[in-house]
Structure 1
Amino acid sequence: MITLAHFDTHPDFPVPGILFYDISPILADPALFREACDALTPAPGSVDIVVGVDARGFIFAPVVAQTLGIGMSMVRKKGKMPGDLLESDATIEYGASELVLSPNGLEGKRVLVVDDVLATGGTASAVGEMLARAGAASVRYAFLLELGGLPGREVLKDFVVTSVVEVPA
């Protein structure tokens, strides 16, 4: 079972006051990586497409999509993807980010959003807002790590949210 002990921590990164949880030890161990991907994967038939969030969500999302036998889409930082895109601003724990999503193939779909960390819910909320504009039928979220004591869970209270590991408040 994946626990907090499987993460390396780095205080004051990327800015003072933030404790960064590094997923590298999980990625370095094939059994832990598989366990993480399995824990992020919902029941077969419950979603139609997986959306991975730039950048660490990209690590897990394709494995989850392949496991379910479904396709995948990406949320990128602005300027990293061409075409007709939806845009949204995300306010996160230590700054802000402009995100983009291609709406192609999302209308009427049940979407699973995969990302590494749920903290303030800013990124997840921005992604959900873009998916709503794309016409997604429903949205649910899966995170490797949830930082308790921050408002992320409350921000996503209207959605199904799965977190593999939770940091106590």
Structure 2
Amino acid sequence: MITIDDFDTYPDFPIEGILFYDIAPILASPERFREACVQLMPPSGAQVDVVAGVDARGFIFAPVVAQTLDVGMAMVRKKGKMPGDDLLESTAEIEYGARDLAVSASSVEGQHVLVIDDVLATGGTARAVAEMLERGGAASVRFSFLIEIGELPGRDVLEGYEVTSVVVV
């Protein structure tokens, strides 16, 4: 089971007042990485047609979960990093600024989407992703996070969505 002890922490990174949770120790251990991917899986019986990995650290876990579920993967990228004419875009307000995101509408239209990202903090990124996916015609959106910062409003911002977090601090 993944616990808070599996993360390294760095205070005041990337800016003062932020406590950064580093996933490197999990990635360095095949056993912990495998366990993290298992814990990011949706509940048994949940319908998932595509797994959406959020740039950048969601990309690490999403393909493994998608392969295990035998479904495809969509990428939620930083704006300007993805080609195509069918892109949906959004701006996410995060703890230390803003982030422009994009996803291909054709990858999510009519699909039940599991979004995977490493951290749920303020919920800004996740909410922006949910809104993009819904504009793109996703049938449903649910979330799995490796770590959730419980004192921040992320879960409240995602009210109405199913949210799973492996570790809550």
- TM-score when normalising by structure 1: 0.97
Measured in 2, the distance between the counterparts of 1:53 and 1:92 equals 14
Matched with 1:133 is 135
**Take 2:108 and 2:55, find their aligned partners in 1: how far apart are those partners?**
18
Unaligned runs of 5+ in 1: none
Hey, which bits of structure 1, 4+ residues long, moved more than 4 A?
Answer: none
For 1:105 and 1:140, the matched residues in 2 are separated by 16
The correspondence of residues 34-113 of structure 1 with structure 2, limited to 5 A, is 34-42=34-42, 43=44, 46-84=47-85, 85-113=87-115
Q: Which residue of 2 aligns with 1:26?
A: 26
Maintained 8 Å contact 1:44/1:68: no
Do the aligned residues in 2 keep the contact of 1:118 with 1:145 (CA within 8 Å)? yes
**What's the offset of the Cα at 1:105?**
3.0
What is the number of residues matched between the two proteins? Answer: 167
The structural deviation recorded for 1:106 is 1.4
Q: Which amino acid aligns with 2:141?
A: V
Amino acid at match of 2:71: I
Matched, 1:157 2:164: no
Between the aligned residues of both structures, percent identity stands at: 70
Structural RMSD (CA): 0.9
Q: For residues 32-89 of structure 1, what are the alpha-carbon distances to aligned partners after superposition, in whole Å with 9 as ceiling and x for unaligned?
A: 0000000001136621100000000000000000000000000000111111211000
Corresponding position of 2:6? 6
CA distance in 2, matches of 1:91, 1:27: 27
Q: Partners of 2:107 and 2:59 in 1: how far apart?
A: 18
Q: Is the 8 A contact 1:41 1:64 kept in 2?
A: yes
SS of residue in 2 equivalent to 1:15 = coil
Map Cα deviations across residues 110-159 of structure 1 (whole Å, 9 max, x no partner).
Answer: 10000000000000000000000110000000000000110000001100
Q: Is the 8 A contact 1:53 1:74 kept in 2?
A: yes
The reply to whether residue 147 of structure 1 matches residue 149 of structure 2 is: yes
Unaligned runs of 5+ in 2: none
Matched residues in 2 for 1:81 and 1:159: separation? 26
